[in-house]
Chain A
Amino acid sequence: MEQFEQLLTCAICLDRYRNPKLLPCQHSFCMEPCMDGLVDYVRRQVKCPECRAEHRIPYNGVQGYPTNVTLQRFLELHIEITGELPDPTSGQIMKRCGVCSEKAYVTSCVHCEKDVCSDCKGAHMDILRREIARINNQVRRALHRLSDMLAGVEKNMLTLQQNCTSVTEEVDEIYRRLAKALKDRTDHLRGEIDRYLTTELKNLCNLKENLDIEISNIQSNCDLADKHMQSDDVEWEDSELMDAKEIFLKTVDFIRNFETEIGDYSRRAKFLMAHDPNQLVMHVASYGELTIHAPHQAFNASSNSLQAPSPGLMRSKSDHRLASQYRQDERNAYEPGGEIGGRVSPLGGRKFGERYPSRYSRGDRNDYDADTTHDNENRSSARSRIRSRLGRHGLNENTDSDTDSRSVRFSEINNTVHRERERVLDTEDVAKGPLSGITRLYDSPRVMKRLLESENKDKKADAAPKSQPQPAVQQPKKITPQPTPQRQLSEDDEIARIKRQNKTASTSSDTERRDRVGSIKRDDSRDSNRSTSNTPADSTRRTSNVPEPLPADTQESSESESEEDSVEVVEPRKPTPAKTTFPPSTSAATGDSRRSSTASDNIASKGNSRLKSTRSDSIESTSSETPGTPVRRNAGGTFPSEDVKQSPVSSSSGSTTPRARFSSVSSKRDSATPTNSRSYSVTGNGGSTSKKEEIEDEEEEEEEETETSSESSETDTDEDSEDAKPKTPVPKAMEKTDIGPLLARSAQARDNGSGSNSSSRRTSQDESYTRSRYGTSGYKSPSSYQSPREADTSTSGSKYLNNTRTEPAPRFTSRFLKNKSIQEENPSKPSYNSDNKYTSDKGGLSRSRTSANLEEDLPDDTNTSTYSPYSKNHYGSELSRSRSSHALKSRETSPDRPVTNASAGTGEKDGAALSSWARYLKNKYGNRGKENAAKDNAAASSASSSSSRRLSLGLPLRSNSTHVDSSDDDQKNMQSSPTSHTIIEAGMQGVGSTPRVQYLQKRQLLFKIGGRGSEPGYFTWPRGVAVGPDNLIVVADSSNHRIQVFDNSGKILKDFGSYGNSEGEFDCLAGVAVNRIGQYIIADRYNHRIQVLDPSGRFLRTFGSQGSSDGRFNYPWGITTDALGFIYVCDKENHRIQVFQSDGTFVGKFGSNGNKIGQLEHPHYIAVSNTNRVIVSDCNNHRIQIFDVNGRVISSFGTEGSENGQFKFPKGVAVDDQGYILVADSGNNRIQIFHPDSTFLRAFGCWGSGDGEFKGLEGIAVMSNGNILVCDRENHRVQVF
Chain B
Amino acid sequence: MSVLPRRILKETQRLMQEPVPGISAKPDEGNARYFHVKVTGPEDSPFEGGLFKLELFLPEDYPMSAPKVRFITKIYHPNIDRLGRICLDILKDKWSPALQIRTVLLSIQALLSAPNPDDPLANDVAELWKVNEIEAIRNAKEWTRMYATEN
Contact = CB atoms under 8 A, between A and B. Distances in A.
The answer to whether A and B belong to the same complex is yes
Interface of A: 11-15, 34, 37-38, 47-50, 52, 97, 100-102, 104, 117, 119-120
22 contacts: A12-B7, A13-B6, A13-B7, A14-B10, A14-B11, A14-B100, A15-B7, A15-B10, A34-B97, A37-B61, A37-B64, A38-B64, A47-B96, A49-B96, A49-B97, A50-B96, A50-B98, A100-B2, A102-B3, A102-B5, A104-B3, A117-B3
Contacts of B97: 11-12, 34, 37-38, 49
B94 A52 contact: yes
B99 A49 contact: yes
Interface string B3-27: 1011100110000000000000000
A117 B63 CA distance: 19
Nearest to B2: A100
A1210 B68 CA distance: 36
Contact of B98 (A49, A117, A119): A49
Contacts of B7: 12-15
Interface string B107-130: 000000000000000000000000
A4 to B, nearest CB: 17
Given A12-B97, A34-B97, A47-B96, 4 more contacts: A13-B7, A15-B10, A37-B97, A100-B3
A21 to B, nearest CB: 14
Shortest beta-carbon contacts, A-B, top 8: A49-B98, A49-B96, A100-B2, A11-B98, A119-B3, A37-B64, A49-B97, A12-B97
Contacts of A104: 3
B57 to A, nearest CB: 18
Contact of A12 (B3, B61, B98): B98
A117 B96 CA distance: 26
B96 A101 contact: no
Contacts of A12: 7, 63, 97-98
B104 to A, nearest CB: 13
A445 to B, nearest CB: 35
Given A14-B10, A38-B97, A101 B2 contact: yes
A52 B2 CA distance: 29
A130 B10 CA distance: 32
B66 to A, nearest CB: 12
A100 B3 CA distance: 8
Nearest to A27: B98
A115 to B, nearest CB: 15
Contacts of B63: 12, 37
Contacts of B61: 37
A29 to B, nearest CB: 8
Q: Which of A14, A15, A38 has the most CB of B within 10 A?
A: A14
Interface residues of B, number: 16
A117 B3 CA distance: 10
Interface in B70-105: 94, 96-100
A103 to B, nearest CB: 9
A47 B3 CA distance: 27
Contacts of B3: 100, 102, 104, 117, 119-120
Nearest to B11: A14
Nearest to B98: A49
A538 B6 CA distance: 85
Nearest to A120: B3
A102 B2 CA distance: 7
Between B61, B94, B96, B100, the greatest number of chain A beta carbons within 10 A of the residue's beta carbon is seen for B96
B2 A15 contact: no
B63 to A, nearest CB: 6
Nearest to A33: B5
A13 B64 CA distance: 10
Nearest to A50: B98
B92 to A, nearest CB: 13
Nearest to B9: A14
A119 B63 CA distance: 20
Contacts of B64: 37-38
Interface in B35-67: 61, 63-64
A101 B1 CA distance: 11
Nearest to A13: B7
A50 B38 CA distance: 26
Contacts of B96: 47-50, 52
Contacts of A101: 2
A34 B2 CA distance: 18
Nearest to B64: A37
Nearest to A37: B64
Contacts of A15: 6-7, 10
A34 B63 CA distance: 9
A100 B61 CA distance: 13
Contacts of B5: 13, 102
Contacts of A47: 96
Contacts of A52: 94, 96
A741 to B, nearest CB: 65
B142 to A, nearest CB: 35
Nearest to B14: A14
A12 B64 CA distance: 9
Contacts of A48: 96
Contacts of B2: 97, 100-102
A38 B6 CA distance: 17
Contacts of A13: 5-7
A101 B5 CA distance: 12
A11 B96 CA distance: 10
A34 B98 CA distance: 10
A100 B96 CA distance: 25
Contacts of B94: 52
B90 to A, nearest CB: 10
A37 B62 CA distance: 10
A1115 to B, nearest CB: 17
Tell me which of B7, B11, B94 has the highest count of chain A C-beta atoms within 10 A of its own C-beta: B7
Nearest to B96: A49
A448 B33 CA distance: 44
A505 B151 CA distance: 84
A34 B62 CA distance: 11
A999 to B, nearest CB: 44
Nearest to A12: B97
Contacts of A37: 61, 63-64, 97
A119 B6 CA distance: 12
A687 B129 CA distance: 101
A95 to B, nearest CB: 14
A371 B34 CA distance: 69
Contacts of A102: 2-3, 5
A48 B97 CA distance: 9
Contacts of B11: 14
B102 to A, nearest CB: 11
A48 B3 CA distance: 26
A199 B45 CA distance: 157
A866 to B, nearest CB: 36
A42 to B, nearest CB: 14
A672 B64 CA distance: 53
Nearest to A11: B98
A47 B94 CA distance: 10
A14 B99 contact: no
B14 to A, nearest CB: 8
B109 to A, nearest CB: 21
Nearest to A34: B97
A37 B95 CA distance: 13
B84 to A, nearest CB: 22
A37 B5 CA distance: 14
Contacts of A117: 3
Nearest to B61: A37
Contacts of B100: 14
A124 to B, nearest CB: 13
A117 B100 CA distance: 25
A768 to B, nearest CB: 59
Nearest to A118: B3
A87 B10 CA distance: 17
A813 B7 CA distance: 60
A14 B11 CA distance: 8
Nearest to A122: B3
